[in-house]
């Protein structure tokens, strides 16, 4: 019997059904080893930059089970995910199972279907050590940055904090956007609209240059008032067909962006649902940079469209790939486009529908519009030209939009879509029915949502699409950013802003361009074009330079205490017992006590808890012989507690006046 090792129990069960009794399929449940977590061996330092691994505590039983199965197997096949991380998991499995990487039978497939899996196990390859090296360097760099810089950072901000190779530049994007919003000063301006017979409108061309705004309210009111009696000559008129092609099938990045907007859930939930759909065999591999499909995928989609009676373009579409994209896998698509539904819960089912419709739409005809525009000239008015422009667009053929419509961060259609400009003849005259002055103001930059943050990360080259969800998760978990009342906009917290203030300008990894270069170096290692140790040395040298610029002592981030009458200052601290929970401590110790954390700001004092008084005197404490007191829990259950050493016991079952089993440790 042959042994096939995959990552997920769900996938193992699915594939076992394909391969039958000649195979045993078991799951590693992700990584089985990780870097040491304590002592000198936990650090990654020069000159060797050695990485010391150990089997994770929660994987010891899994490893023992895999070893037992491997010892009995005729052959061991490693079928972890087909990417850098999956290759590293396969390599770690080789290490714990005693398999030489050169002798390993590595199996990869793009979809968990019977034909794909059987073809893959029939054609195993050896380990790709370049992929393993790139993953090791990435893991080593992340450990190096975190472990070398987080301690000094915590000293500077006066609270437990962490630095991260991709976490920090991602946070910087959020913080700098918030700074831009706070520094923004709105500018009021006016726009003059001519409303025409038939319900369309034209905007006055105010003649301002880019960055300038028309602010003469007196002129605006005068022109708007004069418009109903003004004859506007049509100096230009055009009506032309315009076509809009469908978006490409999903990549990892666009799946997270569109899925987050359309389903109104976080990117982590999107990736979990996609992982589940992949393991169920419903979609192809969901970690990909390529917008293009395989020939097999194109054929399946086109056949499904024809079977459904929908139009198909004559030749399959291809899309230009972004610079730096890794095209090892095709775009995300259903493995069987004829299957209308898939998924085990509502989120998976809704995400499958998005993937299905977008993939099918990619092979459908363009959406067609008739775009009409005109220029109207009213001559001179109070020393300025009264020229108006109008543009409108009417859909004439929905094409791919019969099946799929992209979600958007902005609600509603484009303005010109709702402006029914008629086809006009040049030289004709139009008379407005009324004029209108629109009072407007420049708007501050929008705060990021998870979807727009992912777009920014992709544009800046911070991380890779497969890491975006984990980056966002870490920023939330560390208390560096937050959402208010579960609304999409992302806000940096006080701690998040303090972290960026402490790191920016001192550490290269806080710089977006430098972070992008490191990602390029990792890609070069994958392709065998860069040396792992050279990359790690360069990052190490950069970290040492940054650390030399960090102040030696703590500079706590403090704010005036908000409690009325208190003259102290408070600083934000993290609970030792509940990581991620924060509170504020006042510099005046004998005052109101600790304060709650209110969205990164000091809130109200914690409510004083009245000390419970004993209902009666109880037997002597077992430890210090002090008489205990008899109390009751919230549910009315009696117990005994010692006021001196805080030990607590339930009453003895046989004699309620005696101490029984210990309730609380002494």
**Catalytic machinery residues:** 285
Convert 561-595 to b/e letters by CB count within 10 Å (16 or more is b): bbbeebeebbbbbbeeeeeeebbbbbeeeeebeeb
Closest alpha carbon to 433 in 597, 207, 200:
200
**Strand 648-651 with 53-55, pairing:** unpaired
Positive or negative torsion for Cα 79, 80, 81, 85? negative
Specify the residue for token string 């979807």.
451
Nearest alpha-carbon partner for 329 in 281, 278, 286: 286
Residue 287: CB atoms within 10 A of its CB come to 25
Burial of 315-326, coded b for 16+ CB within 10 Å and e otherwise, reads ebbebeeeeebb
Q: Residue 666's closest CA among 625, 637, 608, 609?
A: 625
The DSSP code sequence of 401-435 is: GGT-----SS-S--GGGG--PPP--TT-EE--SEE
Rounded Cα gap, residues 659 and 647, in angstroms: 11
Q: Are 490 and 453 in contact (CB under 8 A)?
A: yes
Q: Concatenate the DSSP letters of all residues of 106-155 into one string.
A: E---SB--HHHHHHHHTS-B---HHHHHHHHHHHHHHHHHHHHHHHHHHH
Instruction: Count Cα neighbours of 250 within 13 Å in the Cβ-side half-sphere.
Output: 31
Is the link from the previous residue into 155 a cis peptide, with omega within 30 of 0?
Answer: no
| Backbone phi and psi for residue 595, each to the nearest 5 degrees, phi listed first | -110, 150
Angstrom CA distances, 373 to 197, 295, 393, 405, stand at 16, 41, 9, 25
Structure tokens, 658:
């005696």
State both tokens at 86.
């999956």
- Pair 163, 149: CB distance under 8 Å: yes
Count of beta carbons in the 10 Å neighbourhood of residue 507: 22
By residue count, the chain amounts to 666
Q: Which helix (H) or strand (E) holds 279?
A: helix 267-279
Phi, psi of 459, rounded to the nearest 5 degrees: -65, -35
Residue whose pair of structure tokens reads 């061996």 in the numeric block? 41
Q: What are phi and psi of 256, to 5 degrees?
A: -65, -40
Token representation of residue 195 = 């409303």
| H or E, element range at 57 | none
């Amino acid at each position: 019997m042959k042994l096939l090792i995959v990552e997920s129990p769900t996938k193992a069960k699915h594939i076992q059904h394909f391969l039958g009794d000649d195979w045993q399929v078991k799951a590693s449940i992700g990584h089985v080893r990780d870097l040491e977590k304590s002592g000198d061996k936990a650090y990654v330092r020069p000159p060797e930059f050695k990485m010391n691994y150990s089997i994770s505590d929660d994987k010891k039983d899994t490893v023992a089970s895999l070893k037992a199965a491997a010892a009995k197997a005729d052959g061991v096949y490693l079928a972890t995910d087909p990417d850098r991380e999956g290759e590293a998991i396969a390599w770690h499995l080789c290490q714990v199972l005693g398999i030489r990487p050169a002798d390993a039978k590595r199996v990869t497939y793009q979809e968990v279907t019977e034909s794909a899996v059987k073809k893959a196990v029939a054609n195993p390859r050896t380990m790709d050590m370049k992929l393993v090296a790139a993953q090791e360097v990435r893991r080593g760099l992340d450990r190096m940055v975190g472990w070398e810089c987080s301690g000094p950072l915590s000293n500077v901000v006066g609270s437990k904090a962490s630095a991260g190779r991709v976490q920090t530049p991602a946070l910087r994007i959020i913080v700098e956007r918030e700074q831009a919003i706070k520094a923004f000063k709105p500018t009021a301006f006016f726009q003059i609209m001519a409303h025409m017979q038939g319900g369309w409108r034209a905007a006055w061309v105010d003649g301002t240059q880019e960055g300038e705004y028309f602010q003469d309210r007196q002129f605006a009111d005068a022109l708007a008032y004069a418009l109903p009696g003004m004859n506007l000559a049509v100096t230009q008129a055009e009506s032309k067909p315009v076509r809009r092609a469908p978006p490409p099938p999903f990549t990892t990045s666009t799946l997270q962006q569109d899925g987050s907007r359309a389903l109104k859930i976080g990117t982590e939930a999107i990736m979990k649902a996609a992982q589940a759909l992949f393991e169920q065999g419903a979609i192809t591999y969901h970690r990909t940079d390529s917008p293009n499909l395989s020939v097999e995928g194109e054929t399946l989609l086109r056949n499904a469209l024809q079977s459904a009676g929908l139009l198909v373009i004559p030749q399959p579409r291809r899309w230009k790939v972004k610079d730096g994209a890794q095209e090892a896998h095709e775009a995300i698509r259903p493995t069987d486009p004829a299957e209308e539904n898939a998924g085990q819960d509502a989120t998976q089912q809704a995400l499958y529908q998005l993937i299905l419709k977008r993939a099918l739409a990619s092979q459908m005809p363009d959406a067609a519009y008739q775009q009409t525009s005109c220029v109207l000239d009213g001559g001179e008015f109070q020393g300025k030209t009264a020229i108006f422009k109008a543009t409108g667009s009417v859909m004439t053929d929905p094409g791919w939009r019969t099946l799929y419509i992209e979600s958007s961060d902005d609600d509603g259609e484009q303005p010109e879509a709702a402006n029914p400009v008629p086809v006009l003849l040049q030289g004709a005259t139009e008379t407005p029915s009324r004029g209108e002055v629109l009072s407007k103001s420049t708007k501050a930059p929008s705060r990021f949502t998870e979807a727009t943050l992912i777009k920014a990360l992709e544009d800046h080259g911070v991380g890779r699409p497969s890491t975006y969800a984990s980056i966002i998760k870490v920023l939330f978990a560390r208390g560096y950013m937050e959402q208010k009342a579960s609304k999409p906009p992302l806000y940096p917290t006080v701690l998040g802003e303090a972290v960026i203030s402490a790191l920016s300008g001192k550490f290269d990894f806080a710089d977006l361009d430098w972070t992008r270069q490191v990602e390029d170096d990792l890609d070069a290692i994958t392709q065998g074009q860069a040396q792992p140790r050279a990359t790690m040395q360069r990052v190490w040298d950069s970290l040492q330079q940054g650390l030399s610029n960090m102040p030696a002592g703590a500079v706590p981030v403090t704010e005036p205490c908000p409690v009325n009458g208190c003259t102290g200052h408070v600083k934000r601290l993290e609970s030792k017992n509940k990581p991620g929970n924060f509170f504020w401590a006042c510099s005046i110790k004998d005052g109101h006590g600790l304060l709650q954390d209110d969205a990164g700001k000091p809130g109200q004092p914690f409510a004083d808890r009245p000390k419970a008084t004993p209902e009666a005197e109880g037997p002597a404490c077992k430890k210090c012989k002090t008489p205990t007191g008899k109390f009751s829990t919230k549910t009315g259950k009696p117990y005994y507690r010692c006021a001196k050493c805080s030990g607590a016991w339930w009453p003895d079952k046989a004699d309620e006046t005696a101490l029984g089993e210990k309730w609380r440790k002494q």
